[in-house]
Structure 1
Amino acid sequence: MSQFIDWDLAVGTAKTLMPAGPALSAKQAARIVEELRIAAGQGLREAEKISKLTSTAPSQTLVVDRGGWAKAVSQNFAAMLPELPHTPSALPLIAGAELGAVLSILGTRVLGQFDPFAGPRLLLNAPTITQIRGELNLNARDFYLWIATHEQTHRLQFEHAPWIPVVMKQILAEVFEPLGEKTNSMNDIGARVKSMRSEVGELTSIMSVLEGHAMVVMNDVSSIASIKTIQNRFTARGKNRSPWATWIGKLLGMDAKARQYERGAKFVRHLVDEIGYAEFNTIFSARELFPSSEELDNPALWLARTR
């Protein structure tokens, strides 16, 4: 069995191309790691309190450097994508180099993610968190808690909707498996995707709601004194899309749909204000309760269908 991607090459390429991050003493680095671990625990408690979801399943927290982040994310992708009886010899090398280049960029931008595929585990990218905190001149503990709350919200989502990773893997399998020995380039994958409008639309909807929900929860943390400053400066800097969301978006031709994540946040914000978090949480109970593309832009339609 083989995969479309040479994972060792992807990790090696990412490590080669990525800068290490801010120069820190061993004492400074150890303090940041400890503070991030503390924030991870606090973030779970905040996410539970705000979202009205609770966690009972164990999960690992990994505070990593950029090389460790690239390795962990590649393990996540490998667990998501199907294995195939055969792939053309050149394609895994091409795809591995391409993914490595993408990871080398993402590794300097993405702060963390929750991994339900090779985990469950929370990944916090310490050098990038440190770099962005310094660039934006933010309160460290507040910023760490804000990030951790977002990622721990994803933990709660996947725990309460275990069907989501299954569906995501099924859709990706539908993209890759029919190609088999027929593809020699990533362009063939793109052509396959264009014929799968409904499947790609469903994946877009799932990712939009997950990211939008986490954004709304993290911005409702009342215990973060400097939250308005964080929001304003971070929004001005750009979006923190998770690596799997970014790369799947690239792979499935959804780069032009970055607006999906803002759509997701507006959808969740409207419903939480209308019916509260506890009622909103019914959305995680079944695949059929996630919104269509039309409902994503009109939450009233979703309410009418599900109530």
Structure 2
Amino acid sequence: MRLLMQLRPHVDWSLAKKLAGRLLADLPDATRPEAHQSVGSLRVAARRGGELAVRFSGLDGEPAPRVAVTDRDGWAHGMTVMADAVIGTLPMRTRSEGLRKRLVGLGYGSLSGVAMGFVGRQLLGQYDAFSPEPTLYLIAPNIVAMQRARRLVPKDFHLWVAIHEQTHAVQFSAAPWLGEYLRERFVAIATDDLSASGALRNLTAGRGAASAVASPEGHSALDEMSAAMTLVEGHADFVSDAVGRRNVPTVAQLRKAFARDAGPSRLAKLMPAVDKTAQYRDGLAFCRKVAGRVGRRGLARAFEAPENLPTAAEIADPAEYLRRVHGKA
């Protein structure tokens, strides 16, 4: 029997959370008083970071409506809710039921669990703009482990991280179209269909793995989503640095500790469109150059409408963006 079902991949989220939990179980040692102190400090930082992000971002947005200072399991659960919300926007098609659905669910559940497990060990914070209740997550064990490993001042580090994540909340509330813009491109990528011969042509042309398996339409959606995320991440770094110069005494140490490598990473060579390190690095460089020419309010115009977003080419050449959007280079 064949029924009309969502194109969304069926994911066994129960399996995903179990696998992620096993990979996330290695926590930093902390006494109960130390844990309570860290959680309290992060909550204060989130509130203060929200106020500062609003003031310095140049955007007419608001801080996160909900802040969760959580452990790794709490973050993983939140990500399953977010992923299901995004996947649920995929269009309809016919798909078989029964054993095949179960096997597919186990496969996607395993992949999702392993991915969350590895990402969740390194991630400091994340703003979820796609779930029914948008939430800012600050992952306390990872933040504590990082501050110890790099000998950072906890109060300063907590505020710096919080400002970055709260800037994302301000971005999405100031530009309510942004979430739908990214969701539409995700759907276009997820439903893209390229022939084997087309993929072979792309590979022989030297495209990265992500681009090689995309049709021209899919490649365009991938570039647009990557450029938008590069702006989003770069702008958050730009704001956290700008705020830090006035409010975080050790901001220079923090920026040095998290300096992005100027060279291409292995991920950038394989899948340049989804390399987060490149997004942070290139986005911050773009924002610094644009703000240096038109100020932070001028930079904030990028969030006014989809047509004001930079293209991938303009991220690499801010002068071209300034000519198109601001009429000046």
Residue 113 of structure 2 corresponds to 100
Deviation at 1:166, TM superposition (A): 0.5
Check the 8 A contact 2:51/2:63 in 1, yes or no: no
Question: What RMSD, in angstroms, separates the aligned Cα atoms of the two structures?
Answer: 2.7
Query: Which residue is equivalent to 2:172?
Result: 158
1:182 match: none
CA contact (8 A) 2:75 2:137 kept: yes
1:33 match: 39
Amino acid at match of 1:299: P
Structure 2 contact 260–281 (Cα < 8 Å) conserved: no
Residue of structure 1 aligned with 2:160, choices 141, 146, 153: 146
Q: How does 1:240-279 map to 2 (within 5 A)?
A: 254-255=273-274, 258-279=277-298
CA change 1:64–1:20 in 2 (3 A) is farther
Name the SS of the counterpart of 2:16 in structure 1.
helix
Q: Which amino acid aligns with 1:69?
A: W
**1:193–1:253: 8 Å Cα contact kept in structure 2?**
no
Q: Deviations over 1:178-215 (max 9, x none)?
A: 67xxxxxxxxx987535511111100110000001001
Asked if 1:214 corresponds to 2:236, the answer is: yes
Question: Is 2:134 the counterpart of 1:120?
Answer: yes
Deviations 1:36-86 (A, max 9, x none): 010001111221222122434761000111111111112112211235553
Q: Does 1:287 align with 2:306?
A: yes
Question: Residue in 2 aligned with 1:67?
Answer: 73
> What is the distance in 2 between the residues matched to 1:201 and 1:213?
18
- State the secondary structure of the residue aligned to 1:69: helix
Residue 295 of structure 1: how far off its partner (Å): 1.0
1:53 aligns with 2:75: no
2: distance between equivalents of 1:149 and 1:256? 22
Partner of 1:200: 222
Q: Distance in 1 between matches of 2:51 and 2:67?
A: 14
| Greater Cα offset, 56-65 or 126-135 | 56-65
TM-score (norm: length of structure 2): 0.80
Give the Cα–Cα distance (whole angstroms) in 1 for the partners of residues 153 and 134 of structure 2.
Answer: 29
Distance verdict in 2 for CA 1:58–1:51, change over 3 Å: closer
Amino acid in structure 2 at the alignment position of 1:228:
A
Paired residues of 2:192 and 2:215 also in contact (CA < 8 A): no
How many angstroms apart in 2 are the aligned matches of 1:190 and 1:305?
A: 26
Larger radius of gyration: 2
Please give the per-residue CA displacement for 1:226-283, whole angstroms capped at 9, x wherever unaligned.
1111111233799xxxxxxx9xx9x987356742432211111101111111121111
State the aligned residue count: 289
**2 CA distance for matches of 1:74 and 1:49?**
32
The question of whether the paired residues in 2 share the 8 Å contact of 1:171 and 1:199 is answered with: yes
Secondary structure at the counterpart of residue 68 of structure 2: strand
Name 2:196's counterpart in structure 1: none
Between 74-83 and 295-304, the greater mean CA deviation after superposition: 74-83
Distance in 2, Cα, partners of 1:236 & 1:164: 26
Matched AA of 1:215: D
Q: 1:175, 1:192 within 8 Å by CA — same for their partners in 2?
A: no
Contact 1:116–1:158 (Cα < 8 Å) also in 2:
yes
Instruction: Give matches, 1:159-238, under 5 Å.
Output: 159-177=173-191, 193-195=214-216, 196-220=218-242, 221=244, 222-235=246-259
Change (3 A) 1:11 1:237: farther
Cα offsets for 1:141-191 (capped at 9, x unmatched): 000000000000001110111111101111222233467xxxxxxxxx987
Cα distance in 2 for residues equivalent to 1:126 and 1:257 = 21
2-structure distance, mates of 1:55, 1:37 = 20
Q: Which amino acid is 2:42 matched to?
A: L
Assess if the C-alpha contact under 8 Å between 1:7 and 1:78 holds in 2: no
Matches of 2:281 and 2:215 in 1, distance apart? 23
Task: Identify unmatched segments of 5+ residues in structure 1.
Answer: 180-188, 239-245
Bigger mean CA deviation after superposition, 106-115 or 6-15 = 6-15
CA separation of 1:204 and 1:68: change in aligned 2, threshold 3 A: same
Q: SS where residue 121 of structure 2 aligns? A: coil
Tell me the alpha carbon deviations over residues 9-52 of structure 1, each in whole angstroms, 9 at most, x when there is no partner. Answer: 22221002222411222222122111101000111122122212
Tell me the TM-score normalized by structure 1: 0.85
Decide whether the 8 Å contact of 2:66 with 2:134 is kept in 1: yes
